[in-house]
Amino acid sequence: APALGKAATSALPRPPTRPAVFVPVHRTPEMQAERLKLPILSEEQVIMEAVAEHPIVIVCGETGSGKTTQVPQFLYEAGYSSDNSIIGVTEPRRVAAVAMSQRVAKEMNLSQRVVSYQIRYEGNVTDETRIKFMTDGVLLKEIQKDFLLLKYKVVIIDEAHERSVYTDILVGLLSRIVALRAQRRRPLKLLIMSATLRVEDFTQNQRLFVRPPPVIQVESRQFPVTVHFNKRTPQEDYSGECFRKVCKIHRMLPAGGILVFLTGQAEVHALCRRLRRAFPASRSQPPGEEDDKDSAEEMRKFKKSRARAKQARAEMLPQINLDNYSVLPAGEPDEDREAEVDDEEALGSDLDLGLGDGDESRPDGGEQPDASLPLHVLPLYSLLAPEKQAQVFRPTPEGTRLCVVATNVAETSLTIPGIKYVVDCGKVKKRFYDRVTGVSSFRVTWVSQASADQRAGRAGRTEPGHCYRLYSSAVFGDFEKFPPPEITRRPVEDLILQMKALNIEKVINFPFPTPPSMEALVAAEELLIALGALQAPPKTQRVKQLQRSRLSCPITALGRTMATFPVAPRCAKVLALSHQHGCLPYAIVIVAAMTVRELFEELDRPAASEEELSALKARRSRVAQMKRTWAGQGASLKLGDVMVLLGAVGACEYAGCAREFCEANGLRFKAMLEVRRLRGQLTTAVNAVSPEAGLFVDPKMEPPTKSQVTYLRQIVTAGLGDHLARRVQSEELLDDKWRNAYKTPLLDEPVFIHPSSVLFRELPEFVVYQEMVETTKMYMKGVSAVDERWIPALLPAYCQFEPPLEKPAPTYCPESGRVLCHRASVFYRVGWPLPAIQV
Ligand code: ADP
Ligand code: MG
């Protein structure tokens, strides 16, 4: 069994092999005082001795105990970054990598040249860098370049409890790298840090660690948190419920910050707006000031729906006398106040707020709450710009109460100071995939018990706190204990490609902390074989043997090239094929835009009112018109949504990537900025593979010529080939649900072109699509038309060639006869001659 806790680790055999160096750090006295409050400080000795004696150490501690900010400092001071080596820290989230590097630099009184970060698009790493925070994906790429990670003396895998796929893979890889480095007498230390106690997947996994590493448990100074469940069964409108709960807390409970957990960015913004209107902070922070997008329009819609709701309520509840509610802050616009009061009145009575009926049951019995206290409302989610995220760490303005409305990021990655009340909607938004087909959908689901407890724990950091759960204790009892690791929930082709590029051929033997399912592995390997990234097993092997041998196919040269691009394998194939006819610059734009996803703002949302509906409709038709313009006619229209991406990015860059341009044309400004950054990064990656290409990012790129468009169609077909679909012919119509439907090799169900596609009305016979999403129906998004004659040449893996028929139909070439391709439920009849193209 692993050595547990302080006693066990300090009883380990002597002598410690700690580096003798001590690197001084000149912290400010204030900072030093703040550090000393952190529980992990008292464990420094224990942790450092364990690190000195063991190659791998696990550190567990409550969120906020100081793991992320302090452990790298301990290591730095103990000389683990001497001799120009680096202390590496990986984070599953970009937000955390950036924020933590800034925080640690500040604590150590060092510049960001020394304590730096590297995330996918950017970084500030220099030659002087000694502590480097990065996303787990960045370290995985580095392992490809230098398998032994010789730059590093220590690698810290932070937030291991999140079980992100890259974290899992890194733990597996590093368990091997540590052994190899020991053999070479250049030991590497591995620290795994985790918030919750569920470390058995790491410690009890014999394939991962032969000898279980010691686990150091940091006792946290957690204050008690009183958890209040809702009595009622949970309802759909948890956002509204959050709003009411925050209002009640703010009006009735003593000072202390409020942290609200919601599921997504849009919800966070909506609630922030609503709260700011209800409790304006001050003149310097007008409502909506920090909203990054669409605020004017949203606000207008919001006002309208609010007015309608108010009217509806007035009709329903004419007997309520609003004059009785005097707890509201003075000087607020009346219309909103009334509406909010109504909300509370209508729902307040049956809520168990833990507030009871009278003063005596108020949790702290403390000071009289100040109802006119303004609320300092801040959003927090992973895509928020770093400088805006940093606001939650700044002191709250004098005389206001902090209210942070956050997504899951506030659960463990970031600790916000001064939180006393947590409002937990109990939900989380997750992307779900069908493991085999890769069909994805976003779903809002209940969190796990572990997550709910983490969220509650945020309330007890500085003093006893309260957590209001907007669900009943019975529902909580039905939650899963822990969230399942990500690797078991998503397709793994990108991982498998990265691993093969590391020459890990027998993926099946890899020491995953939790292995992906066999189906997912087989599906990934098949896709990679079809894309030409892996060598197909010899044809003679039949299906039964295939499965085992497939899981050990070696990587091809094409696969290696593909693995160097930081994009999904299908997109990487598009890039790898584009080195002809001047297609590369266009392919880079296409792949960047596909990778960033959701270039266009969401216009499918339900409307709350007639006016909102007509505004939405107007906007939809405007965007549809722009898409048609960008798609053009003829060959270019056949490139479909891919052409729209090219046109949109081209037009946007031509307009200087201005926010106004994006807003006017329904493009997400942030997405366009990401496309720009990814374009730069992919251009660099392509230049590294083929320096002779000498590519550069040209914002004012000419549109592709007609023949280039055709080549691009072929390239896209070859890259997305496993996402091929054929329109159901009228003679095949089984019933009405198949009208305008397509068939795909993997699904028995009808699938449709998404209404947002420019090919929605064109209905080409064959299409490839970027992704399939399931909403009311199965929809293909990112659709491009395929010329059927290309299929046998470009996608032989998806065809079965039958011997020539005895009497070939006169329209087909006499030498070859008719070619019939068949796979699963899809039949492709392919004509002749094949097009002459280079692949
Ligand atoms: P853990 O990794 O164990 O969850 P952290 O090291 O992230 O803990 O945080 C330790 C403490 O440092 C927390 O109390 C947190 O509030 C504080 N902290 C972290 N980042 C900042 C920041 N940017 N500004 C102020 N305080 C911060
Ligand atoms: Mg942390």
152-170: pLDDT as tens digits: 999 999 999 888 899 999 9
The two tokens of residue 174 are: 């590093």
Per-residue model confidence (pLDDT) at position 707: 87
Q: Which residues make beta-bridge pairs with 88?
A: 132, 155
Say yes or no to pLDDT of 493 above 50: yes
Per-residue model confidence (pLDDT) at position 547: 56
At residue 20 the predicted structure's pLDDT band, cuts being 50, 70 and 90, is low
Per-residue model confidence (pLDDT) at position 608: 67
Q: Whose CA is nearest to atom 5 of ligand 1?
A: 66
Residues with CB under 6 A from ligand 1: 38, 61, 63-70, 99, 103, 393, 415, 417
Percent of the chain with pLDDT over 90: 39
Q: How far apart, in Å, are the Cα atoms of 663 and each of 197, 292, 660, 674?
A: 46, 11, 5, 16
Residue 635: CA count within 13 A, CB half-sphere: 12
Sequence letter at residue 424? D
At residue 389 the predicted structure's pLDDT band, cuts being 50, 70 and 90, is confident
pLDDT tens-digit readout, 99-109: 999 999 999 99
The alpha carbon of 413 and the centre of ligand 2 are apart by a number of angstroms equal to 5
Q: Are 405 and 377 in contact (CB under 8 A)?
A: yes
Per-residue model confidence (pLDDT) at position 262: 94
Mean pLDDT, to the nearest integer, of 85-106?
93
Report which of residues 235 and 215 the model is more confident about.
215
As to burial, measured by CB atoms within 10 angstroms (0-12 exposed, 13-18 middle, 19+ buried), residue 476 is middle
Q: Whose CA is nearest to atom 6 of ligand 1?
A: 66
Say yes or no to pLDDT of 538 above 90: no
If you write DSSP's letter for every residue of 300-337 in order, what string do you get? HHHHHHHHHHHHHHHHH-TT--GGG---SPTT--HHHH
Per-residue model confidence (pLDDT) at position 331: 27
Peptide bond into 15 cis (omega under 30): yes
Q: State the average pLDDT for the chain.
A: 79
The two tokens of residue 383 are: 């895509």
The alpha carbon of 104 and the centre of ligand 1 are apart by a number of angstroms equal to 9
Mean pLDDT, to the nearest integer, of 57-74?
93
Q: With 0.80 as the threshold, say if the pTM is over it.
A: no
Per-residue model confidence (pLDDT) at position 358: 30
As to burial, measured by CB atoms within 10 angstroms (0-12 exposed, 13-18 middle, 19+ buried), residue 126 is exposed
The alpha carbon of 30 and the centre of ligand 1 are apart by a number of angstroms equal to 15
pLDDT tens-digit readout, 814-830: 333 333 333 322 333 33
Relative to the alpha carbon of 70, which ligand is closest?
1
Per-residue model confidence (pLDDT) at position 112: 95
Sequence letter at residue 569? P
pLDDT tens-digit readout, 281-315: 654 444 444 444 434 454 455 455 555 544 544 44
SS3 state at 272: helix
Interface predicted TM-score (ipTM) of this complex, two decimals: 0.98
Q: Are 59 and 192 in contact (CB under 8 A)?
A: yes
The alpha carbon of 78 and the centre of ligand 1 are apart by a number of angstroms equal to 21
Which residue's entry shows tokens 């609003």? 322
Q: Are 642 and 716 in contact (CB under 8 A)?
A: yes
Mean pLDDT, to the nearest integer, of 240-245?
92
Between 236-250, 278-292, 513-527, the lowest mean confidence (pLDDT) is in: 278-292
Q: Where are the beta strands (DSSP E) in 143-256?
A: 152-157, 189-194, 215-218, 225-229
Mean pLDDT, to the nearest integer, of 177-203?
88
As to burial, measured by CB atoms within 10 angstroms (0-12 exposed, 13-18 middle, 19+ buried), residue 61 is buried
DSSP 751: B
pLDDT tens-digit readout, 520-530: 888 888 889 88
Q: Give residue 666's region: left, alpha or beta (phi > 0; psi -120 to 50).
A: left
Measured from the CA of 37, which atom of ligand 1 is nearest?
14
Q: Which residues make beta-bridge pairs with 225?
A: 465
Roughly what angle, to the nearest 10 degrees, separates helices 238-252 and 334-348? 100
Residues ≥6 apart with Cβ < 8 Å to 413: 91, 92, 93, 95, 96, 159
Residues in the chain: 839
Q: Are 571 and 594 in contact (CB under 8 A)?
A: yes
Q: How far apart, in Å, are the Cα atoms of 698 and each of 8, 583, 599?
A: 61, 13, 20
Rounded to the nearest angstrom, the gap between the alpha carbon of residue 179 and the centroid of all alpha carbons in its chain is: 32
Report which of residues 80 and 223 the model is more confident about.
80
The alpha carbon of 35 and the centre of ligand 1 are apart by a number of angstroms equal to 10
